[in-house]
Amino acid sequence: MQLYNTLSAEERAQLIDEAGKQRLTLSFYAYAKIPNPKQFRDELFIAWNALDALGRIYVAHEGINAQMSIPEENLAAFRETLEVYDFMKGIRLNEAVEHDDHSFLKLTIKVRHKIVADGLNDETFDVTNKGIHLKAKEFNSLLEDPNTIVVDFRNHYESEVGHFEGAITPDVETFRESLPIINEKLQDFKEDKNLLMYCTGGIRCEKASAYFKHQGFKNVYQLEGGIIEYTRQIKEENIESKFIGKNFVFDHRLGERITEDIVSQCHQCGKPCDNHTNCANEGCHLLFIQCDECKAAMENCCSAECQDIIHLPLAEQIKLRKGVQVGNKIFRKGKSEALKFKKSGELPKKALAKAEKNIRQKISIKKVLLGKAEHYYTKSKIAQFLLENGEINIGDKVLISGPTTGEQKFNITEIFANGEACETAKAGDQITFPVPFRVRLSDKLFKILS
């Protein structure tokens, strides 16, 4: 039986592109008593792998927490795999606001001590005594009550790009850090205030609401389904959004736009921006906010030091990061001294700018696929592509897109076809041209149509 991934992320991305089928990004969770998490994990992997389901899933004795990407045509079959288990019958699947075929590129199901690292001893309080669940309209109404305190139970890198108006946004990197901080900060409001809490998909509030009721808070409420479900409801029911900005998500997209408000800044130049990027230096991999201009100038790096490192031979890069643990740095945004405009814990109450509407959708409609990446020459910053369709000319506006690269637009200033300088290259040509960023083998080349 296959209980592991056999394809790399790049190979999986290529297969997804070639299949050309719509995929759905969704999340769900359930607290339940699971006697044998490892057996449960194996059963899920076998069932979901057969459906081409991908994602990051945690299972434990206390339940399941999943973020996934599923072919739309397999959604009904996927639901059937959940219905096998009593505790997941009729479970709500939170569908993403913006679907992305590359949101997840592997199926990873891990057995953990807990499905959310909350640092709590569940034996010391009744985890089933939860707060009152509120739908979007009810949540908005309670927000208007002057007797309400609203708390964001996400981490600083999540709340920085988007949050509810007037929310307390703790400057923390982990959920477990926020609980004692919030508890201490709100000690004087246990009896007479409404404690209104929210998170991304609702799972953190399930445990937090019970914890705060145990701590003596009388009026505890939580946003049902989190920001994801809130967004679905406000769109469906035409309700005003009290959430401003982006909802940070833990997949390739790193965010879903809820409103056009930009409430954060590029950490390098200070320009209004809410696009996260991971530092291209694999020995750093820091998550931070970076605008398009800085992304091009810094080549997806957080500092000049990291930019120098990515131009070293691969063997030297590997040698430099040998023994360095970078996994936990992925979401340590804003903690580097190299970032000059970090705003952790100091969030503006109003938008700094408005986002251009539906840029990604416009690009997806008005572009044509030309070919795929074959090589990237690091020192000379030259990309090599195989031109499979159409033609490309000097002066054309192009888009290079991939799961790690994201979507990068620029104008072609020079082309070499099969080693010779030219004005126009055609299908079948092996072309090279300079690019202001790093290109990967999973990247595709598109011409943007006017």
Strands 63-71 and 23-31 come out as: antiparallel
Q: Looking at the domain 9-111, which fold is it? A: Alpha-Beta Plaits (3.30.70)
pLDDT in tens, 258-305: 999 999 999 999 999 999 998 888 888 888 999 999 999 999 999 999
Lowest mean pLDDT among 82-96, 126-140, 329-343: 329-343
Return the number of other C-beta atoms located less than 10 Å from residue 191's C-beta: 9
Q: Looking only at Cα atoms, what is the longest distance across the chain?
A: 77
pLDDT higher than threshold 80 for residue 350: no
pLDDT value at residue 2? 60
Mean pLDDT of the chain: 87
Closest by Cα among 324, 284, 323, 320 to 303: 284
Return the number of other C-beta atoms located less than 10 Å from residue 5's C-beta: 16
Tokens of 121: 């001893």
What's phi and psi for 23, nearest 5 deg?
-115, 150
pLDDT confidence of 62, banded at 50, 70, 90? very high
DSSP bridge partners of 397:
411
> What is the number of alpha carbons within 13 Å of residue 339 lying toward its C-beta?
23
pLDDT confidence of 348, banded at 50, 70, 90? low
pLDDT value at residue 343? 63
pLDDT higher than threshold 60 for residue 358: no
pLDDT value at residue 360? 41
Q: Based on the residue annotation, tell me whether 294 is a catalytic residue of this protein.
A: no
Integer angstrom CA distances of residue 260 from 5, 246, 356: 38, 8, 7
pLDDT value at residue 119? 82
DSSP bridge partners of 221:
132, 196
Tokens of 381: 């910053």
- Mean pLDDT of the region 338-361: 64
Which letter does DSSP use for residue 73 in this model?
Answer: G
What's phi and psi for 13, nearest 5 deg?
-60, -40
pLDDT higher than threshold 50 for residue 363: no
pLDDT value at residue 54? 95
pLDDT confidence of 191, banded at 50, 70, 90? confident
pLDDT confidence of 122, banded at 50, 70, 90? confident
CATH 3.40.50.300 applies to domain 359-448: no
- 270: three-class secondary structure by DSSP: coil
pLDDT confidence of 112, banded at 50, 70, 90? very high
Query: Which residues fall within 8 angstroms of residue 280, CB to CB, at 6 or more apart?
Result: 299, 300, 301, 306, 310, 438
Distance CA 91, CA 195 (A): 26
pLDDT value at residue 365? 46
- Triad 412, 379, 369: Cα angle to 5°: 35
pLDDT in tens, 212-238: 999 999 999 999 999 999 999 999 999
Distance CA 374, CA 152 (A): 44
Query: Which residues fall within 8 angstroms of residue 93, CB to CB, at 6 or more apart?
Result: 26, 27, 28, 79
pLDDT in tens, 47-59: 999 999 999 999 9
- 150: three-class secondary structure by DSSP: strand
Query: Which residues fall within 8 angstroms of residue 141, CB to CB, at 6 or more apart?
Result: none
Return the number of other C-beta atoms located less than 10 Å from residue 375's C-beta: 13
pLDDT value at residue 294? 93
Mark residue 261 as left, alpha or beta (left: phi above 0; alpha: psi -120 to 50; beta: remaining).
Answer: beta
CATH 3.30.70.100: which residues of the chain? 9-111
Choose, from 199, 273, 284, 306, the residue flagged as catalytic.
199
CATH 2.40.30.10: which residues of the chain? 359-448
pLDDT higher than threshold 80 for residue 366: no
User: Model-level pTM?
Assistant: 0.72
pLDDT in tens, 380-431: 889 999 999 899 999 999 999 876 677 888 899 999 999 999 999 999 999 9
- 383: three-class secondary structure by DSSP: strand
Tokens of 266: 């590029």
